Chain A
Amino acid sequence: GQNIDQPTEMTATEGAIVQINCTYQTSGFNGLFWYQQHAGEAPTFLSYNVLDGLEEKGRFSSFLSRSKGYSYLLLKELQMKDSASYLCAVRDQNQAGTALIFGKGTTLSVSS
């Protein structure tokens, strides 16, 4: 089976740094993805990791440890528009068409 866990909610203030954790237990592993989703809108791609380590992309960074089944998304210099749900997703096979399986998402609220 597959199990992907994230905190349900987090709060932070504008300009701060926040780390959203994700742990996963899947039958296989072929990449971990982070998506951002505003209410009622489509998920938008933020980052992916397939090898251990940190991937940096502007204000967003994502880290992966395959041996620990653990990832985090780091958001720096938070802005009000970063208030959204952040979804961790895993692809467990390397065959074409294998779907991303999502965690339940972390709702981040950024206040001024």
Chain B
Amino acid sequence: AAGVIQSPRHLIKEKRETATLKCYPIPRHDTVYWYQQGPGQDPQFLISFYEKMQSDKGSIPDRFSAQQFSDYHSELNMSSLELGDSALYFCASSPGTGGLITEAFFGQGTRLTVV
């Protein structure tokens, strides 16, 4: 079965550079979530989109932005990178289904290292 696809899997950037992470949700999933997970930490929610509109916002820094496109894929844009941005970035998707409970399916993550 198709899963959530994230690219790239690994990324190395220097301080103050920019990075773009991509997420392709499971087909027919219209909701995308972005999480940041530092070493030994729990996943921290950054931002989510439903039907191409931002639906929930967590601890996303102002240096980061994200959007969901017409094909439902999403991109997380990160600027002025800092050493502390080094982490695993997970994307998850779920069908929107209004208020019904659905689990979120996670991609394999992008490991960002800022040097």
User: Across the interface, do B43 and A43 meet the contact criterion of CB distance under 8 Å?
Assistant: yes
Contact call B88/A40, Cβ cutoff below 8 A: yes
**Count of chain A residues with a beta carbon within 8 Å of a chain B beta carbon:** 25
Q: Mark A93-112, 1 if CB is under 8 A from B, else 0.
A: 01111111111110000000
Q: Mark A14-46, 1 if CB is under 8 A from B, else 0.
A: 000000000000000011010000001111110
Question: How many residues of chain B have a CB within 8 Å of chain A?
Answer: 32
Inter-chain contact A48/B103, CB cutoff 8 Å = yes
Q: Are B101 and A91 in contact, with the CB atoms below 8 A?
A: yes
Whether A96 pairs with B96 at a CB distance below 8 angstroms is yes
- Interface of A, helix, strand, loop or mixed by DSSP: loop
- Pick from A94, A97, A104: contact of B42, CB below 8 A: A104
User: Which residues of chain A (33-65) have a CB below 8 Å from chain B?
Assistant: 33, 40-45, 48, 50
> Are B99 and A99 closer than 8 Å at their CB atoms?
no
- Tell me, yes or no, whether A75 is within 8 Å of chain B by CB: no
Of B58, B92, B108, the residue contacting A41 (CB under 8 A) is B108
